[in-house]
Structure 1
Amino acid sequence: MKKIIDYLYSLRNQGSSYGIERMEMLLEKLGIKSLPFPVIHVAGTNGKGSTCAMLDSIYRANGYKVGLFSSPHLVHLGERVRINGKILSEEKLIRHLRVIRPLAEEIEKEVEGMHPSFFEIITAIAFCEFSQVKVDLAVIETGLGGRLDSTNVVVPEISIITTISLDHCHILGNTIEEIAFEKAGIVKKGCPVVTGWLPDAANEVIRKIALERGASFYTLAKQSSQQDLPETNLVGEHQNRNAALAVKVTQILKENFPVKEEKLDSGLQTVKLEGRWQVLQDNPMIILDACHNKEGATVLIKQLAQLPKNMKLVVWFGSLGEERAKEILSVLTQFASEIRLFKPKQPRACSLKALRSLICPIFSGKVLKGEVEKIDSHFNAIHSGQILLITGSIYLLGEIMEVVKKPKNNLGLSFQDLV
């Protein structure tokens, strides 16, 4: 059992090569010519995970059987594949892997260098599971970009592009227009597309591509006001914008997937999404918030400004890229009294030395070394009157939560049932 899971994770070490050819070959081996379930396909720099979670919650509240594919996971690999909110069990994960692994190895034998990647195999697992349990609707989040993402083999009911900003520039391009072109790769012939509050330049690229492909184009960017946005249980104005996007999608799809107004509201009030300004406990207050790029840092400023002024903020932070880390640390140092730096167990993770060098010299608070292995003593140093914010890479959040969620962690914390 462990060997086959290790095999899957070993594929992460092979590096990334983008394109849908391997995914198409794998689906052909699996005998899947077209997906037997309708799809909502979601891309974007930020907000796609939240929007997916909202759509999942809305349609489940209306009685639909919904499959949700999202990434990355916090603790359990099965979090990436959910049926009606329940994560894929390890037993089912392994069952799918035992079918898919030999097919992936066949592809490698037939065409050297074409072994499907970690993400492609997880995508295939999601498609197989959704097919087997016969979901009414699947909400599919892209991994990176859109045009060359493994999920882009789908022909959706609708495509969604949440936000666009400069991120992953070495892969997607160095301008808003170039990145918009990559994201717009998910727009399919005759399938509507809706965008959030995108820059005009990005929207223009997507609008032209939609026109070329005969796809109806909708955008929230032309709304005269962001007032009266839908309410949701997720925290922050950006989540209200994501909710507005989710509601717009339900309006466009109402003919084939009708929803009741009261059930829509119920869905928006019961969204489950780990790691997005998630208050784990109140005293001392512990907040889990994945923030990994400049756009996320802009949102973070607004959230931090609303915290109680009479409580000291302690931050635990780790990042996968120095440029990203610099943007986020410049925000954190404005509010924190103490920053503890961690190095996530990922190949692209920033070293503690690099992170320390990115902290503004005029920051007068403490800067400490963090180690996930010593998480119990780190938690014990937090006391009433402080707020602990665990932020940065979602991989760091996952490593910390993996320790916290163990029944015998001796931490005295009360959130083992997080996922």
Structure 2
Amino acid sequence: MNYDESLRFMRALGKFGVNLGLARIERLLEMLGNPHQGLRAIHIAGTNGKGSTAAIIDSILRASGYRVGLYTSPHLVSYTERIRVDGEAIPEIDVARIITRMMPMLEHIAGDRELGHPTEFEVSTALALAFFNERKVDMAVIEVGMGGRFDATNVITPAVSVITHIDYDHTDRLGTTIRDIASEKAGIIKEGRPVVVAPQHPEAWEVIEACCREKGSAVKLVGRDVTFCTGGFHATPLSPLDGQYCSIKGEKYTLGDLFLPLLGRHQVVNCATALGAVEVLADRGIATSEEAIRQGIEATRWPGRMEVVQRDPVVILDGAHNLDGIARLVEGLHEFRAKGLVPGRIKVVIGVSRDKPVVEMVRELASAADEFVATRARSSRLGGAEPEAIAQAARLLGKPVEIEMDSIEAVRRALTGAGPGDFIVICGSLYLVGDVRPLWFDNVSL
């Protein structure tokens, strides 16, 4: 089986949907020789900020001289982006080789009626863990796919668990209250293993704190044990579109006048959360230094998250795909206006998955946006919401809106109509961002 055949096989597994549970992945890993056992890992759950926090931790550990595996999802352009070692995507030949090796194992598991066929995410997770084992990584940074308790990644016993901000998403599977969702996310907490927690809604924190007490897990809370503030007294001139300066004070390290090349105040919170995790690792023998931490943070790259890909007019790609993520994006846009960076109009190109709260997301965006172009991603795990539904939500708020079914043409239309000082923001779905990002990067895989 070659790489293209492997991808077709993986996409075909999408028909099995999301089927939370650990029995299938545990059986598959057992047949692979349990590559996850003995793996030193950081496990990251949360509603938003998981990927950014993972990317920052990965960059810090690599700057500290460690060989690091990074597993995140979904990808933007190439499937290989999901699995990285030392910043390099898994080679296509290794994807094909490991998937081919797994084929008879998958058929065997599928023959068990009680288990059923492994899902796409379960196979992807097994692929990542097998590859990290082969490459003998010093540390693996593992992002949860959905929830935590029954997510396929929850087979690992991490050196530290991290829980980023929790809010409403996937309520059909994780529960309809913050407490329900927090309970699922807290399922990654293991007996006696330390936990780093980002600032939370009070009810989410109550659930997490109780779980930590039950498990005997020490907890480091961002905002209490790791503090942060934006701004600094830097000497180097900087456009606010290049990144931001901040200060973070942990229990071991104090980083003042720190450059973070990610936009939005929420990224400062993610950075503080990453520092908390690195401090816990230091207590467990994963040594680093203030210089390496600073270098790693300054070298962090996480495409598609308030990413500025063009300056005239300004074009921002943001994969915000739920109401909380959209609120963080809008907060950033208001900040840009307050700093005088948006003398013109803000035009939003938006495509949303059909399981998301379209009306509420458009309403949130409308507080910053002047006009909309409604579209849909060319591919999406669950399919896209109808652009007409997005457009109707915008019209009800009195916002001008155009409909363009093709995502690439939607961006081109927005660019054609842009004037001096305008901002074009492309958001609503990581799948949409993945569709259009190659327009600026010549189809080069990230």
TM bin (shorter chain): over 0.9
Q: Which residue of the other structure, out of 351, 373, 376, is the alignment partner of 1:340?
A: 373
Q: Matches of residues 109-128 of structure 1 in structure 2 within 5 Å?
A: 109-111=111-113, 114-128=116-130
* Deviating more after overlay: 103-112 vs 9-18: 103-112
| Structure 1 pair 309–280 and aligned structure 2 pair: CA distance change class (3 A) | closer
Q: Cα distance, 1:299 vs. partner?
A: 0.9
Per mean C-alpha deviation after superposition, the further-off stretch among 227-236 and 73-82 is: 227-236
Aligned residue for 2:80? 78
Q: TM-score, normalised by structure 1?
A: 0.92
**Which range is displaced more, 121-130 or 369-378?**
369-378
User: How much does 1:311 deviate?
Assistant: 1.9
Number of residue-to-residue matches in the alignment: 410
Q: Which residue of 2 aligns with 1:132?
A: 134
Q: Residues of 2 paired with 1:224 and 1:24: CA distance?
A: 35
**CA distance in structure 1 between the aligned counterparts of 2:175 and 2:364, rounded to whole angstroms:** 25
User: Can you list the C-alpha shifts for 1:328-384, whole angstroms capped at 9, x where unaligned?
Assistant: 211322333331111223333101122122225242424332413636843651545
* Structure 2 Cα separation of the partners of residues 171 and 184 of structure 1: 15
CA distance in 2, matches of 1:165, 1:156: 24
How much does 1:69 deviate? Answer: 0.2
Q: What letter matches 1:244 in structure 2?
A: A
**Which of 255, 258, 262 matches 2:287?**
258
SS at match of 1:234: coil
SS in 2 for 1:156: coil
Q: Secondary structure of 2:24's match?
A: helix
Q: Which residue of 2 aligns with 1:315?
A: 348
Which residue identity does 2:363 align to in structure 1? Answer: S
Return 51-60 or 383-392, whichever deviates more.
383-392
Residue 268 (structure 2) aligns with: 240
Given candidates 29, 32, 53, the residue that maps to 1:30 is 32
Q: Specify the SS of the correspondent of 2:425.
A: strand
SS of corresponding position for 2:42: strand
Q: Deviations over 1:279-324 (max 9, x none)?
A: 1121221111011112112212211111423122221100013653
Alignment CA distance shift 1:140-1:416 (3 Å): same
Describe how 1:17-416 pairs up with structure 2 within 5 A: 17-32=19-34, 34-111=36-113, 114-222=116-224, 226-227=228-229, 228-229=247-248, 231=258, 232-255=260-283, 256-305=285-334, 306-307=336-337, 308-321=341-354, 323-344=356-377, 345-346=379-380, 347-372=382-407, 374=409, 377-378=412-413, 381-383=416-418, 385=420, 386-402=422-438, 404=439, 413=440
More moved, 29-38 vs 39-48: 29-38
Residue 409 of structure 1 aligns with which residue? none
Q: Give the secondary-structure state (helix, strand or coil) at the position aligned to 1:252.
A: helix
Residue 416 of structure 1: how far off its partner (Å): 5.2
Q: Secondary structure of 2:266's partner?
A: helix
Tell me, what secondary structure is at the counterpart of 1:254?
Answer: helix
- The 1:285/1:243 distance shift into structure 2, 3 A limit, reads same
1:219–1:225 CA distance, 2 compared to 1 (3 A): closer
- Matched residue of 2:303: which SS? coil
Worse-matched range after superposition: 233-242 or 153-162: 233-242
> Which segments of 5 or more consecutive residues in structure 1 lack a partner in the other structure?
405-412
In 2, the alpha carbon distance for the partners of 1:22 and 1:238 equals 36
Give 5+ residue unaligned stretches, structure 2.
Answer: 230-246, 249-254
Distance 2:139 2:115 in 1: 34
Q: Which moved more, 1:78-87 or 1:204-213?
A: 204-213
Note the C-alpha offset of 1:266.
0.9
**Pairwise CA distance, 1:414:** 5.8
Q: Contact conserved, 1:342 with 1:352, CA < 8 A, in 2? A: yes
Moved over 6 A (4+): none
**199-208 or 239-248, which moves further after superposition?**
199-208
In the alignment, residue 251 of structure 1 is paired with which amino acid? E
Task: Give deviations 1:148-196, integer Å, cap 9, x for gaps.
Answer: 0000000000000011112111111111111111011101111111101
Q: Write the letter of the residue equivalent to 1:348.
A: G
Larger CA deviation: 197-206 vs 149-158 = 197-206
8 Å CA contact 2:35–2:133 kept in 1: the answer is no
- Name the SS for the 1:253 alignment partner: helix
Q: CA deviation at 1:98?
A: 0.5
Residue 108 of structure 1 deviates from its aligned partner by 0.7
CA shift for structure 1 position 252: 1.4
Counterpart residue identity of residue 14, structure 2: R
Q: What RMSD over aligned residues (CA atoms) do the two structures have, in Å? A: 2.0
Contact persistence 1:333–1:363 (CA under 8 A): no
